[in-house]
Amino acid sequence: MVMGIFMENVIYYVGQAVGIIGLIIMVLSFQQKTQRKIVLYQLASSMLFTVHYFMLGAYVGSLLNFIGIFRAFVFANKNKSWAQKKFWLYLFLTAFVTVGILTLDGDINIFEWNASFSSISTYIAMLPIIGMSFTTVAFWITYAPTVRKLSFPNSPCWLIYNFYNHSWAGVATEIIVMTSIIVAMIRYDFKKVRS
């Protein structure tokens, strides 16, 4: 019993540490000048947050970030003809909604779906689905200022989900990401408007 509690604590703290590394990479992503670099940094961050959420037992977040890895790879290659097909946009939007709905009950066993729409946890689990949909549309666009603007609503959605699931690295990430996006908008986007 003591060993089990010890292992749970180790998994929890290692998961938080993995999330902190993901946080650093996510923050740096919005300071990049091109859409491709933003997306590549977010690919690395998604890999780390997939592990982070899984270790915390926040399976909706883990699976959405896992799909986010593939999304970032495709969208980082938008200069290639295979990645320019609108099929990818619709595929990822559909994947996020489908996986999100199948895991709303907080379980990764998609064959026994027990989501209760009278439970607050079901509604909180919907928030990252909405957020990932925003960033999917944002990454489809190649103009970096628009990527930043459309990516911004993702953060409040994940912020609530992270608080609920005790993902302190996730909470910090979203607060810093919102700040980072605003700083990048001031540095890059508003200068262009004034010029």
The more confident residue out of 11 and 118 is: 11
Residues 105-136 have pLDDT tens digits of 666 665 676 767 777 888 888 899 999 999 89
DSSP secondary structure, 81-144, as one string: GGGGSTHHHHHHHHHHHHHHHHTTTS-S-TTS----TTSHHHHHHHHHHHHHHHHHHHHH---H
Mean per-residue pLDDT, 34-44: 85
pLDDT value of position 60:
87
pLDDT value of position 146:
87
pLDDT value of position 2:
73
Provide the residue range defining the domain that includes 42: 2-194
Q: Which residue has the tokens 């540490």?
A: 17
Total domains in the chain come to 1
Burial of residue 34, with CB atoms counted within 10 A of its CB: 0-12 exposed, 13-18 middle, 19 or more buried:
exposed
Per-residue pLDDT band for 96 (boundaries 50, 70, 90) equals: very high
pLDDT value of position 190:
79
Predicted TM-score (pTM) above 0.75: yes
Mean per-residue pLDDT, 141-163: 90
